[in-house]
Amino acid sequence: MDSGRSLRLRLSDYHISPHLGFLLEDAMEVLPEYFQVWNHLASPPVYIPLIESHGLRQEVDKMPVLDHSRLSGHRQLQLAHLQLSILVNGYVWQDGDHGVSKRVPRCLSVPYCGVSRLLDVQPILSHADVVLANWVAIDKQRPITIENIRILYRLPGGEEGAWFFQATVSVELAFCSALQPIVLALEATDTGDDVTLVKCLKDIASTIKDMKTAVSRMHDGLSADTFYNVTRPFLTGWGGDGSPLPEGLVYEGVNDEPLEMTGGSAAQSSTVQCLDAALGITHAPDVQAFLDRMKPYMPRPHREFLNDVRERSRIAPYVRSSSNEKLKTAYRDCIASLVEFRSYHIQIVTKYIIVASSKKRQEDEKYRSVSKKGTGGSSILPFLKSSRDTTKQMDGSM
């Protein structure tokens, strides 16, 4: 957005809700009758048994090539992308590393890549699919909490796997209360309103603490064994060193050459990247490059919001040049809360990936290629520690 059009970034211009943040409101559960074969094969009662019996590919290969142009509206497109993402990842990974498919058939790839182009996102299962567009409230009359969320489409892992996505939805929900303070904080630096800026920074710090509490609920319903060995492999991408698909995946009827894609990753969430952008945090070149590479996996309006917040924010230099100790303290509290959040994320990853990986011999692993890597394929601990450390450095610069 051109900052000359308006001093205020309007959330509605970016398809962002002040109450739900980046989450999709009123997600559809099924597509029209024409797309019934997608509805059927992607539905958990059908999809999960087919994965467990190694029969998904056989059923997918029978599918006709449906005309994705018959989809109408953003919610239908979003649901179609979710369903096709689930089917593509299941098709590729149902037999583990040694039985990986190097291509997906036209009946999947043609509509999948078509829908991806219309949404301007990548043709792979992403955070936007399995989190942002994959939930509904159980009781719409009650507050939306982790217990009042139902996951629509599942990867293997049963109720524990569903809990992983519920907990991640709850982190997105916790972030919502930071959106208006971020927008107001940007304006406050333009007008020199220290009082408002201090209040906004306090609200942002409080929100980050709530996000940490939301992440901690992961332990309540998800074991490390289920996440590492059952659910996590189906979030894996293709391409690069160590992958059973080092050159990527062929999308038949679309690309003759294989395409490399990053799997679903927390870095594809706009929440922490938005906090970084607002607070003026820039990471080490390799880390920042990876975070920037995750933006095309986000819905286009959301990544535009991140770019505009980054471009507009003068919070860090404003605080740095100020003699207002209350302002400096409020900013440091934000940084401290974000450092604590990132440190806690390291603890989560240590439990669910690093320790889980060490509990079994790697040669016995069905999905050996993802050992000790993030779901996005990165070497996860060095990445997270670097992100935390560069965040911590912002405190000293004040």
Provide the angle, in degrees to the nearest 10, between the axes of the packed helices 270-279 and 300-312: 20
pLDDT at 375: 47
pLDDT at 1: 38
Q: Pick from 178, 142, 119: which is nearest to 334 by CA? A: 178
The contacts of residue 27 (CB under 8 Å, 6+ apart) are 75, 78, 79, 133, 134, 135, 136, 152
pLDDT at 4: 39
What distance in Å separates the CA atoms of residue 378 and residue 320, rounded to the nearest whole number? 33
Provide the angle, in degrees to the nearest 10, between the axes of the packed helices 325-349 and 270-279: 150
How many C-beta atoms surround the C-beta of residue 168 within 10 A? 25
pLDDT at 213: 98
What distance in Å separates the CA atoms of residue 317 and residue 370, rounded to the nearest whole number? 40
pLDDT at 101: 95
Collapsing DSSP to helix, strand or coil, 86 comes out as helix
Q: Pick from 17, 3, 111: which is nearest to 60 by CA? A: 111
The H or E element spanning position 65 is none
pLDDT at 372: 46
Residue 93 — φ and ψ, nearest 5°?
Answer: -105, 0
What number of helices (H) and strands (E) belong to the chain?
18, 4
Taking a C-beta distance cutoff of 8 angstroms, is the pair 204, 178 a contact?
yes
Q: Pick from 148, 152, 144, 84: which is nearest to 115 by CA? A: 84
pLDDT at 376: 43
Return per-residue pLDDT of the chain as tens, 398 residues. 333 334 579 999 999 999 999 999 999 999 999 999 999 999 999 999 999 999 999 999 999 999 999 999 999 999 999 999 999 999 999 998 888 999 999 999 999 999 999 999 999 999 999 999 999 999 999 999 999 999 999 999 999 999 999 999 999 999 999 999 999 999 999 999 999 999 999 999 999 999 999 999 999 999 999 999 999 999 989 998 878 899 999 999 999 899 999 999 899 999 999 999 999 999 999 999 999 999 999 999 999 999 999 999 999 999 999 999 999 999 999 999 999 999 999 999 999 998 888 775 444 556 555 554 544 444 788 999 999 999 999 987 77
The contacts of residue 21 (CB under 8 Å, 6+ apart) are 172, 173, 175, 176, 179, 271
Q: What is the DSSP letter of 21?
A: B
pLDDT at 398: 72
What distances in angstroms separate CA 36 from CA 67, 135, 300, one per listed residue? 13, 20, 28
